[in-house]
Structure 1
Amino acid sequence: MMCLSTLLLLLVVFVGQSTVSSNPQQVSPLPVLEQILWERNMDGVSLYRIPVITYTPGGNLLAAVEARKSSGGDAGPKFLTVRRSTDKGYNWSPQNFIVNDGSTYYDGLNLGVVLVDDIMSSIYIFYSVCAHYEKCNTSSALYVKSVDDGITWEKPVNVSAQIGTKMFAPGPGYGIQKKYHPHKGRLIVCGHGTLAGDGMFCLLSDDHGKTWRNGGDVKSIPYNKPKVSGDFQPDECQPMELPDGSVVVNMRNQAHYHCHCRIIATSYDGADTFDIENVVFDPALNDSGVAAGALYHRGVMYFSNPNHRTSRINLTLQWSYNNGTTWAGQLQIWPKSSTYSCMTTIPGGLEDHVYIIYEKGISSLESISLVRVSLYGGLL
């Protein structure tokens, strides 16, 4: 029999979590600042792609991208490069090339996930190498770690000995540290596999990144078989945690199974499992087959992607007051060429703003741009 003190504790937790997610303050998002952080041929790099962004333990901002050295293709040699802002996004440091995969490595590094461990005040950036098996036959997942707020970075750590060498492409986006039970404090990084063995897969750590293991997944159908249009093929993804402790993963619908819209999976055990009855589609979120941004903040869920069924144009921010059951409004960020995006806010700092980093161009991808969005009326 449950004792009275335990029952009262559970009631307090339930009421506290319900209060966080019920009756959130209504938002009226408005862009108040935009600037280019990377652009074609900057510092001699052919093209910058796959932007991710996060707050830092010190209350600053950190952005990271792939610097594709000589071509715009997904394979080929690259740098991993970062920039920091210590004044809420107004000014940014010169880029810091923190990983160099060499000049002859044909299937180089691919971003990736940025992850903050708030308890240990550390930052991880996850990436893969040999993700496409182009002139190589063993894929690896690695991370670099910073313990000084993203100023310096330790040497890369290969986690393949712990998780295996099945291709795992993290994100792209951010990872999460669970703030609620179950498994409070757990680090979660989600990503996808090869196109044949595609699907959404998560890596978990319960010891602040010392060890990693494979967690829950949503596998493609048919699994490990060539795909055709219309197959079930979850792909690039972004996890979020809700105040009830559930983990919601917003996923790219690569082969447009069921609709040209997003796939949503929910786990109630800290991403250990994703039951099929908790995998749904959101017809309100158009998906042309592209990575997207998602964020849960102050009781409001936000989503950013090219809002078009078939083309990578019209980057749009949308928001929901009921955890994505319905979407209350939308704001166009950029009407022309736009693809991958990622979002963050600064906890304990400028919480009335959301930062969106995205790939931007006129007719093709030309730059990585950052837009700061005021959530409550546009005041700086």
Structure 2
Amino acid sequence: MNPFGLLLSVYFIRLAVAGNGEINPLITEEKLLWVGGGAGEVHTYRIPLLTFTTRGSLLAFAEGRKTSSGDMEAKFIALRRSTDRGATWSPTSYIVNDGIHTDGSNLGSIVVDEETGALLLIYSLCFYRYHCSPPSTMLIESLDDGLTWSAPRNLSVQLGVKSFIPGPGFGIQKRYPPAKGRLVVCGHGTIVGDGVFCILSDDHGRTWRNGAALKSIPYNQPKQKQDFNPDECQPVELQNGSIAIFVRNQNNYHCHCRMVVRSLDGGETLPVEELKFDQTLVDPVVAAGALQKDGVLYFSNPANSQNRVNMTLRWSLTDGENWNNEVLQIWQGPSGYSSLTSLKGDNPEDKKHIFIIYEKGQKDYCETVSFAKIHLYGGI
């Protein structure tokens, strides 16, 4: 799908949980955050991330690709903030500007440290090593709810020089043992050393080390169709303390579906015994969103085995062992990357909502696709 002209949209989904545990999500509100098309300093917005801060602000991030829609492009990292649960948004600010790099910055994972309130945004630079070197894993931090951000810090000094893009999506802070309080960020590597890799911090992001790895097969060798090639990923912590990582199946190994792998030791390892190919989560090779909230696991992606269309929300009451037969179709047309979030806490209203941001297209790479706003439905 050609991302030119994509719309990044935020939808607010009200979840009604009946006495029997049934969930009936409805879209109740819509906002357009960014519109691509070449106006101003940005040609295309892509790779959306979404999170709540500990103070209850809602932050949306995206790559602002300056002169084309391509991955290997000079970029801004764009940010918008909302302090009223998404009813209104600040103007766009650019918190990172990589200048004229032909292989610029790539989002990335946002991590919220619930103990300190800090926000850590981790991204890559020179990931593809296209006319620049070495690749670097970068971090910027905000201590004031996303209003201001630190200068970039290069984590490659601690992690080693390798091509690594976190996410895209969010990193987690472990809330349950083992390794309670640990920051865990997972992403993928490229060149020939593909696979899913996690980085870990046990001191609130001051220092980082390499953790779990799920390497491609063959590793450090060129890939062919249907080779095992784990790619972009989203980790979530389950209530038993394990980490479920939803993984892009880059070469459609075994199925046109999502891979899910679990870490039982706080992100130290990803044993092959914990790897599953989830046939319910049909997938056209794309990044996807996942979220665990109050014992319910949510998943969002373009639910199609071949094409990036049909953005869909699914949910599971069994930690992903099986998925509810009902789904919510968010958008039937061209759709791409997505990210889910919710506000933690005991407020009854906040327990009723989750939030999604995703790429939504008016035009496909090969054909024009009609676009209409999704109708807004009333709450329950």
Q: Whole-Å Cα distance in 1 between the matches of residues 213 and 226 of structure 2? A: 20
**Residue type of the alignment partner of 1:275:** P
Matched to 2:289, the amino acid is G
> CA 1:113–1:42 in 2, change beyond 3 Å: closer, same or farther?
farther
Verify the 8 A CA contact 1:338 1:358 in the aligned structure 2: yes
Q: Do structure 1's residue 44 and structure 2's residue 41 form an aligned pair?
A: yes
| 3-state SS of paired residue (2:107) | strand
Normalising to structure 1: TM-score of the pair? Answer: 0.89
Q: Which runs of no fewer than 5 residues in structure 2 stay unpaired? A: 1-18
Equivalent-residue separation in structure 2 for 1:305 and 1:126 (angstroms): 22
How many angstroms apart in 1 are the aligned matches of 2:352 and 2:205?
30
CA distance in 2, matches of 1:62, 1:169: 20
Match of 2:357 in 1: 357
RMSD: 1.9
Specify which of 103, 108, 112 is matched with residue 116 of structure 1: 112
8 Å contact kept, 2:166–2:186: yes
Which residue in the other structure is 1:281 paired with?
A: 277
The residue that corresponds to 1:378 in the other structure is: 379
- TM norm structure 2: 0.89
Shift in Å, 1:195: 4.5
* Post-superposition offset of 1:162: 0.3
Structure 1 pair 149–371 and aligned structure 2 pair: CA distance change class (3 A): farther
**What do residues 48-99 of structure 1 show as CA deviations (whole Å, max 9, x unaligned)?**
0000000111011001000000110001210011101000111100011011
1:259 to 239, 255, 260: 255
Counterpart position of 1:202: 198
The CA deviation string for residues 83-134 of structure 1, in whole angstroms up to 9 with x for no partner, is: 010001111000110111012x110000000110000100011110111111
AA in 1 matched with 2:313: L
Pairing partner for 1:150 from 146, 166, 178? 146
Matched ranges for 1:62-81 at <5 A: 62-81=59-78
Distance 2:110 2:20 in 1: 27
For residue 13 of structure 1, what is the aligned residue in structure 2? none
Q: Match of 2:212, SS?
A: strand
Shift of 1:34: 1.1
CA distance in 2, matches of 1:284, 1:152: 42
Q: Which residues of structure 1 form unaligned runs of 5+?
A: 1-22
Cα distance in 1, alignment partners of residues 172 and 376 from structure 2: 22
Q: Which among 56, 69, 90 is matched to residue 59 of structure 1?
A: 56
Equivalent residue for 1:172, pick from 168, 189, 193:
168
Q: Which residue of 1 aligns with 2:30?
A: 34
Displacement of 1:347: 1.1
Q: Which residue of 2 aligns with 1:192?
A: 188
C-alpha contact 1:116 1:176 (8 A) present in aligned 2 = yes
Q: Could you tell me how far 1:356 is from its partner in structure 2?
A: 0.5
Query: Counterpart of 1:74 in structure 2: which amino acid?
Result: D
* CA shift in 2, pair 1:153/1:320, >3 Å: same
Alignment of 1:304-323 (within 5 A): 304-323=300-319
Preserved CA contact (<8 Å) 1:356 1:371: no
The residue type paired with residue 351 of structure 1 is K
**What is the Cα deviation at residue 197 of structure 1?**
1.0
CA contact (8 A) 1:24 1:300 kept: no
Q: What is the distance in 2 between the residues matched to 1:351 and 1:209? A: 29
Conserved 8 A contact 1:293-1:341: yes
Task: Give the corresponding residue for 1:15.
Answer: none
Report the Cα offset of residue 26 of structure 1. Answer: 2.6
Q: 1:230 to 1:275 in 2, by over 3 A?
A: same
